[in-house]
Structure formats: structure tokens, C-alpha cells
Amino acid sequence: MKRALICLLAMLVPFPAAPAFAQAPVAEATDDAPGEAQISARYLLMDAHGRAISNEDFIGRFQLIAFGFTSCPAICPSTLAAMSLVLRQLGDKAELVQPLFVTIDPERDTPQVLEAYVRNFDERIVGLTGSPALIRRAADNFRVTYRKYVEPGAAPGDYTMDHSVGMYLVGPDGRFLTRYPHAAPPEDIAGRLQERIAAYENDPLVRRAQRGRP
């Protein structure tokens, strides 16, 4: 019960943590990113097949990124379900979007566990892992906070993760664009993303990606 409560609190409390009992604002899928101008959308991680994956691999495509862990009881499953729904609503335009899920719990989320988990939601979602140091660096670049939480008296290996929530959008040129709150309706995110895609339609990087060139 306590572990589920932690993930639910993560959805209600933005980071940095708001004062206790502060009323959470209604989430909207806006294209504004106040306070996040210093986000650097850089990472070097590994996919389920042991291949090194970096932000440079997706130049020419949008990246829709979430951080979480496979043992998360509520927030992460709903985030990935929303991500899958966004992709479906984009239709053919989803080819220009690479969805990514970065684990913050590499101790338990082996590459095999991670791949099986994301495939439960959508086969287009790529799970990324890495060493604790590389994951921490990627999270810091996106200003994602997380920590291990162990209940008093818990058995070894019995813990949960407290972490920032939401989906991060990176543009075809590799620059961070915006963060969508966890509770933002998927149809709103898809609508905003369609507008972004249309705005980049004639960008040389996007046109190259559409033609399937590296």
C-alpha cells in the first residue's frame, strides 16, 4: 500500500516538491516548458540487445521519452499506455516519432525484463538501460529526479522508486522542446505533436528521415 502511495504522490506533486497539501494544477498538454530551459536532451544508454543508443541516433525524428521502472504499480504503466495511445492517434505520422522508456532501476530491470515490459504496451517503444552512472547522467540532463525508497524492515531487494513523471519531447534537431505532464490527455498530446510535426515538415533533417536515410 505504501509503495503504491509513493507513485501516486509522484503524479500529484511536481518537482521540485510543492509544499504539502498544495492543490495540484489541472494538467494540460501545452507547448510551454517554464523552468526547463536548461534541459539538455543528451544520453548514452543501451537497448535490450546490448547496442549503445544515444540521442544522436534519432536526429531527424522526434523523441518522446519517459523515465520510470517496470515494478512501478501505477504511474509508469499509465504513462506507457498514454504513449501508445499518442502513437496510434498520430497514424502514419508516428513514423517520425521514436518513443523511449528509460529505466531508473537497472538493478532489477535487466534488458530482457525491460524489453518484455515495453512490448506489453507498444512494440515501437524502445526500452533503454545502462550503468547507474550513465542513467543518472541522462536523468540529470533531463532534470529528472529519482531515489530508491526502502520501507523499514523490508526484505533485501524489496524497494520502490520515487521519481519525476511526465513525457519529454525532443525535436528532430536534438533540442528539448517540452514536457507533457503525466495527467495530460493523450489526445491533447497527439494534437500538439501533430502541430509540431507539421511545423517541421520541410526541415531537411525530417525529410531525410522520411526517406529512410541515416
Q: Is residue 30 over pLDDT 50?
A: yes
- The CATH fold assigned to 2-9+39-210 is Glutaredoxin (3.40.30)
Residue 45 belongs to what H/E stretch?
strand 44-46
pLDDT tens per residue across span 144-172 = 999 998 888 888 788 999 999 999 999 99
Q: How do strand 62-68 and strand 52-54 relate by DSSP bridges?
A: unpaired
Kindly state the percentage of the chain with pLDDT values over 70: 80
pLDDT score of 14: 37
The residues spanned by each domain of the chain are 2-9+39-210
Q: Provide CB contacts within 8 A for 156, sequence distance 6+.
A: none
Separation between Cα atoms, residue 190 and residue 187, nearest integer Å? 5
pLDDT score of 204: 80
pLDDT tens per residue across span 69-111 = 999 999 999 999 999 999 999 999 999 999 999 999 999 999 9
DSSP notation for 142-203: TT--EEEE--TTPPTT--EEEE--SEEEE-TTS-EEEEE-TTS-HHHHHHHHHHHHHHTTT-
